[in-house]
A and B are shown apart, each in its own frame.
Chain A
C-alpha cells in the first residue's frame, strides 16, 4: 500500500444554488509531499478544502483517505482519522491561553476528554506536546497570554501549532499566509519548510513565492476544475495555466 496516495479525490462535485463551485475535481496527495492548490479568486479553493475537512458534504464524488471513503463523515470524525486543518481566517479559542489552545489540540488527539476530576492544566501528558508544538512555531514565549490578545502573525502561528499538536497524518493549510506582513510571511515559510518531508501537507495559498518555494507538486484550480497538476516547473510552463491564471498576474 506504500504507493497508495494518502489522499485521493475522485470526481468531487459541490454546487451552491445551481452554480458548481467544485466541478468534478480529481487529485492525489502522496505521502510526505507538499501539495499546493492554487487558482484565481472564486476558483473553488475554499470550497474544496471545506469538502476535504468535512465541513461541507459533496453532491457527488469520493474522498479516499488511506483507501477509505470518508466523503460523508463529519469534520470531527475526520480529525480523529488524522486530518488537521488550519483556517484562512484565524480560528482559535480567544478566551483561553495560547497554551490552552494547543493543549486542546493534544487532548483532541488523545481522545480521553471524559475525565471530570483531575486538573487538566498541569497534566504533563497535555502540556509537554502542547509546548513542543508552540516551540516549533516560535510561540513558547507567549504561551501564557490569552489567545485573543496576541498579534495576527502569532495567531497564524498558533493555527499551525494547533494542527501540529494534533499530530496529524495530513495538514490542510488554508492560506496560512493570509493577511501577513512580509516579515511574518517569511517566518511562516521557514516554519513550514521545517515541516517539509515530515508531514504531508495540502496547502491552499495565494502567495506564489511561497507556493513555488514549498510545493513538491501543484494543482491549479480554475472554475472548479483542475486545469493542470504536476511539478512546479511543469505547472509554471503549462500554457493553459499561464493563460488561465498566472498570465492574469503577469499582465
Chain B
C-alpha cells in the first residue's frame, strides 16, 4: 500500500509541473522543485538513519556544501555544471568520510551531538568568510550550465531535480537490498551479534555515511541552483532537524517514506504558516503524535502498522 502511494506520488510529480504551467500557476512548479530536492536529501538521510540506525543531526551540512559547490565557482564566473556536481559530490563525500570516521566511534546521543557539532562547524566557517557573503549569503546569477540542458528554464530545472530524486531513490533501493545493506541493517539491529559473527561493520557504516553525504551534496547542488541564492542558513542545525522530521514523519526505513514525509512537511508548512506565524507549534505537536502513535510514520500507517 505504501509502495502504491509512493508510485502514485512519483507519477503526480512526473506530470504535475507542465499541468501547473498550463493552468497558469508557475508558483506550483517552484514548490514542487523544492519538494523533490528536499525529498532526495531526506531519502539520502534515510539510508543512514532509517536503514543504518545512524541518527545524523548534521545532514543539512551536505545541502550547504552542495549549494556552495555551485555558488562559489559561480562567484568566479565558472558555470560548468559537471564541475559543480563533481565538487558537490566530492566535497560532501570527503566531509562525510572525515567526520564520520570520528563520529561513528560514538553511539546514541553522542553520535547525534557530534554530527550536529561538525555541521555547525561548517555553518560557522561559511558565516565567517566575508568574501562569499558571510551570513548574508551569495546570489547565483547564472545557474549551472550543461550541454543541451538549460536550467534557466524552470521546467527543465524541475525535471533535472526530479531525475536526481529518482536516481537517489533507485540507488538507495539497490543499496539496502544488497549484501552491504544487510550488514548495516544487521548492525542497527544487534551490534554485539554482528561483531560475534565476524563483521567489522564500522567500515560498512562509514561507507554508508559517506554515500549518504555524497548523495545529499548532489541534492544540495540542485537546491542551490533552484533558489539562486545560497546562505549559511541552508545548513543551519534546524534544517538538519527538518530533514529528520521528514524521514520520521514519512516512515524510517521505507523507500518512499522520506518522499511522503517531505511532501507532508511542505504541505503542512504551507497550510499552517498561512494560519498562524507560530506554525512550528502545531508542527511539533504533530511530530510528538507520530512518534507516540505511528512509529512507522505515514508509510507505516499505509501498511496498517503502528509499530
Q: Using a CB–CB distance below 8 Å, which chain A residues touch chain B?
A: 53, 55, 74-80, 84-85, 87, 91-96, 100, 103-105, 107-109, 112-121, 123, 126, 162, 166
Contact = CB atoms under 8 A, between A and B. Distances in A.
Interface of B: 174-175, 177-183, 185-186, 188-190, 192-200, 203-204, 207
Contacts of B182: 96, 100, 103-104, 107, 113, 120-121
A53 B196 contact: yes
Contacts of A118: 178-179
Nearest to A122: B177
B60 to A, nearest CB: 25
B193 A92 contact: yes
Given A91-B196, A108-B199, A162-B197, A113 B204 contact: yes
24 contacts: A75-B195, A75-B196, A76-B195, A76-B197, A76-B200, A77-B198, A78-B198, A79-B196, A79-B197, A79-B198, A80-B198, A92-B190, A95-B185, A103-B182, A105-B197, A107-B179, A113-B183, A113-B204, A114-B207, A115-B179, A115-B180, A117-B174, A121-B182, A162-B197
A85 B192 CA distance: 11
A76 B183 CA distance: 13
A168 to B, nearest CB: 9
Contacts of B200: 76-77
Contacts of B180: 113-116
A75 to B, nearest CB: 5
Contact of B190 (A75, A85, A94, A107): A94
A108 B178 contact: no
Contacts of A119: 174, 177-178
A91 B192 contact: yes
A96 B185 contact: yes
Given A107-B182, A120-B179, A96 B189 contact: yes
> Taking each of A75, A87, A112, which has the highest tally of chain B beta carbons within 10 Å of its own beta carbon?
A75
A105 B182 CA distance: 11
Contacts of B189: 93-96
Given A100-B186, A104-B199, 16 more contacts: A76-B198, A78-B198, A84-B196, A85-B196, A87-B196, A93-B185, A95-B189, A104-B183, A108-B198, A114-B179, A116-B178, A116-B180, A117-B178, A120-B179, A120-B182, A123-B179
